[in-house]
Amino acid sequence: MTPLFPSAFEEIILWTIFLTGMLVASLVENRGAKRSERLQNKAADRGTYVIGNITLLASLAIAILLGYSRIGIIPNWLFYPGLATYVLGIGFSFWAIFTLGQFYAPIVQVQFGHRVIESGPYRLIRHPIYAGGFLSFFGLGLALQSWASLLVLLVGIGFGYANRIRIEERFLVSELGDDYVEYSKKTKRVIPFIF
């Protein structure tokens, strides 16, 4: 069986970048969760946060196992473009989170004074945090050099995000009304000009 990485250097790079990205994402999410707990906002999460995290962790574990098992091998030259895509996706999500500012929360909710944000990445798409997450896990699948890993990540993450987007959009229409409906007419969900 061929090793997943041509050298230990590539393995160290992958794990350093992957774990750093996950750690920073967790810290940002924790900060948003603590702020939203203090504010006691109106929420309609319906378990999407828990389901999404379980799906994410299961997808990651299976994808990493498939990559290390060398199931569905794709060319190893995709390693560095995959890592770059992973970092780009995380960066895009953080841009969206910082654009939301005080309105960011890891659960589906609205806050006092909540309004529709239409600046930054929200000019083109309604859910740039999810788009960035999807992009980052697409990159991770490439870095794992396995189409099977890539497929597991995209299906798992896609399922979690699709469920959350459905609930989130219904909730935002009910809470923000015509402002969100009008915004929805001007933007796509996760892929600019397409979907």
Q: Containing domain of residue 88, as a range?
A: 8-103+115-186
Contacts 24+ apart (CB under 8 A), 13-18: 13/83, 14/79, 14/83, 14/143, 17/83, 17/86, 17/87, 18/86, 18/140, 18/143
pLDDT tens, 114-156? Answer: 899 999 999 999 999 999 999 999 999 999 999 999 999 999 9
Q: Say if pTM beats, i.e. exceeds, 0.85.
A: yes
| Other beta carbons within 10 Å of 117 | 17
Please check whether residue 108 lies inside any domain of the structure: no
Say which CATH number the domain at 165 has: 1.20.120.1630
Please check whether residue 23 lies inside any domain of the structure: yes
Please check whether residue 151 lies inside any domain of the structure: yes
Name the more confident of 5 and 12. 12
Q: Which of 86, 64, 57 is nearest to 5 (CA)?
A: 64
pLDDT tens, 73-105? Answer: 999 899 999 999 999 999 999 999 999 988 898
Please check whether residue 174 lies inside any domain of the structure: yes
Domain count, the chain: 1
